[in-house]
Structure 1
Amino acid sequence: MNDMNEVKKSVSDKPNNYVWIGLKKTSVDKWQWSSGDPVLYLNWANGQPDGRDECAVMKNGQWHDVSCSNRQTFICNNTNTGLVFVNQQKNWRDAQSYCRQNHIDLVSVRNQNENQQLQKFINDNNISGDVWIGLFRDSWQWSDQSNSSFRYWRSGEPNNAGVDNCAAITSNDALRDWNDVPCYTQLPFVCHEDKLILIKEKMTWSEALRYCRQNHVDLVSVHSEEIQRRVMNVVKQASTEVVWLGLHNYCSMNMWLWLSGEIVCYQNWAPGNGTTPEDCRLEKRKGAVQSGGDQRWISLPESHKLNFICSRNEE
């Protein structure tokens, strides 16, 4: 939604009804979690999915595919409270929007343990009938091949009418939500350039710094949660388990600083990193971000050879 809010600013007050975005329908129909998690664990009931419907419910501990226009109660994820049952009848897309606005997202079930936890939650709360989970399938894919399952369709869309195989923003509407439109339509469009770039070469921190300054602007400084989200988007493609950031330890005062000279205010350290005094008698310590897991920051000797992230602008 943060990306969508940025796009809304760029398409405001355009005279055209629609503006192209990079979402297109393909011939590949795949199941995915609303949260963007890959579907690695499956728990379909016998005979399911039966090939017709595109959203999933939990029923007696197993999954069933049903029409997304059905009205069901649903379960959201919340960072603080865990699972949240919402006793309101909504279609799948409206349930997804409710969870995203009030909690995090519709619940994901990524393994057998989470499936058992979800069923226990349903039993403990005496929840009867089918409940929406965050599993859906569609054949829409982003042109940059990213796995994002974020959707912002207008109510009733996509209606898959005829050859409406490309997505556009409704620029003459305050919501700026999406519609499916024939791809041959002549429309203005929004381009995207990442402010960050992942370099898949393996270099020491000093070599990475030199490379970024010669070819781009600098090693990335992560001053805010927003920049951390951008880092998380690009770091997933790394070939090393951790990736250099523009973060270094000022040894004599045991302070962590960004290359911009700013003290680290926003923090995203992995446990045991960044908070205890560093032993830098043998080698200076630099900051890196994990390419998998929770993508937290860790402290490493600067001689490690890693991928790294450069910034492309002066922000």
Structure 2
Amino acid sequence: MDLDTVFVSLLLTAVFSSSAPRQYEFVQMKMNCTDAQRYCRENYTDLASIDNSADVTELLKRVNESADYAVWIGLMETLRSEWKWSLGDPVFYTAHDSLYRNWASNQTTNGVNYCAYMSRDGLWSNDSCNSQRFFVCYSDSSKGFILVQQLLNWRNAQSFCRANHTDLSSVRNSSENKQIQQLMNTSGVTAVWIGLFRDSWEWSDKSKSSFRDWASTEPHGNEGATVLVMSGGRRGQWEDWPCYSKFTFVCHEDQFILIKQNLSWSEAMVYCRQNYVDLVSVPSPQIEQRVMSAARRASTAAVWMGLHHYCSMNMWLWLRGEVVCYQNWAAGNGTGPQDCSEQRVGAIRSSGDQRWVSLPATLRLNFICTNSEP
């Protein structure tokens, strides 16, 4: 494949969305939270972080075979207490608009009250989360705010918004603040819960997500680590447990991303370069184990890697410039002269021995992108 072909592919290939669900890996070994964190960091990226309810659904699918009551995720208590939005997905915010605040001048924002409400003058105050107030939800489908004139505490208001809309309202700028204020004044409402809360929890990988899905009465505040409940009435919700407890756990992989679209090798390369960094390279057995893990979830018999053959020199190279030192070819693949009548590229089998195979670049397969720079 020459440079002109690559350029034409770049022009013709559709631009796909860059968003992709987290890639979760269920580890069926019971460990305390510290050992689970160490295992995930050594073998994947970290203990699982969660941005939104779609991530919870994906994670539940990955561990559906577990009979355990719960699994560790990466949320841990710290000594810092900060204000955050209930709609915690970082992609919802741009620049510093998650930091917009409009506190009333008499408010002490580091006191004992952990939930925020807006008054009819548009200024914010904090109050006990158990107080009963009307509230404002945000709907992602309509991109608008919904005033709910039902008296609920903050946690129940959050549950209502998530069940019926998207979440309790975030307020990212003065324009949104005025929109909510106008809703209140039109309806004669004097105060409403908004989605701002304060807690001392953060993700193991330092993710900026402030999404929380605590079960009722949780967290207790003195147990330090978080599990996702897998069974019973609390399935999908979170509880805090002491770190010395032993559970199976879920890691996430942010470096190697399986894309379940069937594309030619050149289309896959363009997709990865537009949305991540590049098609994956496999320079070592350690990296290959992680790539194999991603490939096992593929819907095609093999999965494209960033490996291609130069006929004029009869050699294989990685797209990102690395020399092919480590190799794991299946018998009859990759090691002898290649058929130069068509471009040959490398793929990894998605099952069985998961060795590498040499295939025509025009086949349409799933593929693995990498998120890391060389």
Q: TM class, shorter-chain normalised?
A: 0.5 to 0.7
Q: Counterpart amino acid of 1:53?
A: N
Secondary structure of the residue aligned to 2:84 is strand
Contact in 2 for aligned 1:20/1:187 (Cα 8 Å):
yes
* Aligned-partner Cα distance in 2 for 1:92–1:186: 32
Contact in 1 for aligned 2:272/2:279 (Cα 8 Å):
no
Aligned counterpart for 1:18 among listed residues 52, 65, 70? 70
Which runs of no fewer than 5 residues in structure 2 stay unpaired? 1-52, 259-268, 283-290, 292-361
Task: Report the equivalent of 1:141.
Answer: 202
TM-score normalised by length of structure 1? 0.60
Contact in 1 for aligned 2:73/2:250 (Cα 8 Å):
yes
Task: Report the equivalent of 1:167.
Answer: 226
Secondary structure of the residue aligned to 2:104 is coil
**Residue deviations 1:35-61 (CA, integer Å, cap 9, x gap):** 234533221112213511111001132
Identity over aligned pairs, percent: 41
* Aligned-partner Cα distance in 2 for 1:11–1:70: 37
Tell me by how many angstroms 1:170 deviates: 2.2
Aligned counterpart for 1:88 among listed residues 136, 150, 153? 150
Q: Would the alpha carbon gap of residues 311 and 47 (structure 1) be closer, same or farther in structure 2, given more than 3 Å must change? A: same
Q: Counterpart amino acid of 1:191?
A: C
**Residue deviations 1:124-175 (CA, integer Å, cap 9, x gap):** 12223x2110111111111111111111111110121xx3010012233242
Alignment pair present for 1:4 and 2:86: no
Alignment pair present for 1:41 and 2:104: no
* Aligned-partner Cα distance in 1 for 2:165–2:67: 35
Within-5 A mapping of 1:46-125? 46-50=105-109, 51-60=111-120, 61-78=122-139, 79-80=141-142, 82-125=144-187
* Aligned-partner Cα distance in 1 for 2:83–2:180: 19
Task: Report the equivalent of 2:369.
Answer: 311
Count of residue correspondences: 215
TM-score normalised by length of structure 2? 0.52
Task: Compare CA radii of gyration and give the structure with the larger one.
Answer: 2
**Residue deviations 1:230-278 (CA, integer Å, cap 9, x gap):** xxxxxxxxxxxxxxxxxxxxxxxxxxxxx9869xxxxxxxxxxxxxxxx
Task: Report the equivalent of 2:237.
Answer: 177
Which one has a larger percent helix, Structure 1 or Structure 2?
2
Which runs of no fewer than 5 residues in structure 1 stay unpaired? 198-203, 218-258, 263-308
Q: Would the alpha carbon gap of residues 206 and 71 (structure 1) be closer, same or farther in structure 2, given more than 3 Å must change? A: closer
Aligned counterpart for 2:193 among listed residues 127, 132, 142? 132
* Aligned-partner Cα distance in 2 for 1:72–1:2: 28
Q: Would the alpha carbon gap of residues 16 and 45 (structure 1) be closer, same or farther in structure 2, given more than 3 Å must change? A: same
* Aligned-partner Cα distance in 1 for 2:161–2:241: 28
Task: Report the equivalent of 1:215.
Answer: 281
Tell me by how many angstroms 1:30 deviates: 0.8
Q: Would the alpha carbon gap of residues 81 and 215 (structure 1) be closer, same or farther in structure 2, given more than 3 Å must change? A: closer
Contact in 2 for aligned 1:23/1:143 (Cα 8 Å):
yes
Secondary structure of the residue aligned to 1:108 is coil
